[in-house]
Amino acid sequence: MSTSHPAGRKGSRHARNAGPDRSPEHARTCVGCGVRAERPKGSFELVRFALLPGAASSADSSSTAPLVPYVDLAGSSFGRGAWVHPTRRCLEDAARRGFARSARGEVAASAERLALELSEAAEQRAHALVGVAVRSRKAAVGTTAVEEADSRLTLVAVDAAAQREVDVVKEMASGKALAFGTKRSLGDACGRDVVGVVAITDASLATAVRDAVALSLAAAAIRGL
Ligand SMILES: [Zn+2]
């Protein structure tokens, strides 16, 4: 389907320039389409996967066992890394050949599994960031507190009654509020039983949560196709 990808060559040229053991962290070129990200920091315009020996390969520890890509949203340094746009096409191209070209070896991957892992990791990250915001008093938890807070981003659980409130619907339409998580999952993140609404009051935390939620939605949409 994507045999005429124009940027494929760029990717291989780039892979050749990388050292044998060093992944091209600084370059941040998508191994799917070969396009370099202009502003890669912060947002998940590109997502990092660490290429590591798979769990199954530890039994047969031959050096030829294929590597497996693990999503690494923190962008930390473990393993050889490869960057990919979180789109269906780039995940497919990365799974088909981009990862293998970058690793110069066999990589076992499917776009389906990459998208699943990506949506789970992004959802987990968003919840973890909410926890950080609550613990550092940069969040207001619950309807009353949220109404009084100077919210940079409000999260409304998908099963919260507040989903139907006019103000909340308006805020969601304007992007000030996002539907995310469940009362139970937001409750866990906030250290409570159940939480229907939580407002992040810190600008940079709000941006980080927004990016993680957006990535989880994008990855879920890829899986839905
Ligand atoms: Zn790409």
Which residues lie below 8 Å from residue 18, measured CB to CB, with a gap of 6+? Answer: 24, 27, 102
Q: Is the pLDDT of residue 221 over 50?
A: yes
pLDDT tens-place string over residues 56-81: 655 555 567 899 999 999 877 677 89
pLDDT digits (tens, 9 = 90+) for 83-113: 999 999 999 999 999 999 999 999 999 999 9
The secondary structure of residue 19, as a DSSP letter, is -
The domain limits of the chain are 8-109, 120-224
Residue 11 has pLDDT above 80, yes or no: no
Choose the weakest-confidence range: 1-5, 51-55, 59-63, 204-208. 1-5
What tokens were used for 182?
């469940």
How many Cα atoms within 13 Å fall on the side-chain side of residue 116?
A: 5
pTM for the complete prediction?
Answer: 0.80
Beta-carbon contacts of residue 76 (< 8 Å; ≥ 6 apart): none
52 alpha carbon – ligand 1 mean position (Å): 21
Strands (E), 112-191: 139-141, 153-156, 177-179
Name the architecture of domain 120-224. Answer: 2-Layer Sandwich (3.30)
Ligand 1 centroid vs 86 CA: distance in angstroms? 8
C-alpha 115 – ligand 1 centre gap (Å): 14
Q: What is the pLDDT of residues 179-201, one digit of tens each?
A: 999 999 999 999 999 999 999 99
* Ligand 1 mean position, distance from CA 6 (Å): 11
Fold of 8-109: Hypothetical Cytosolic Protein; Chain: A; (3.30.1230)
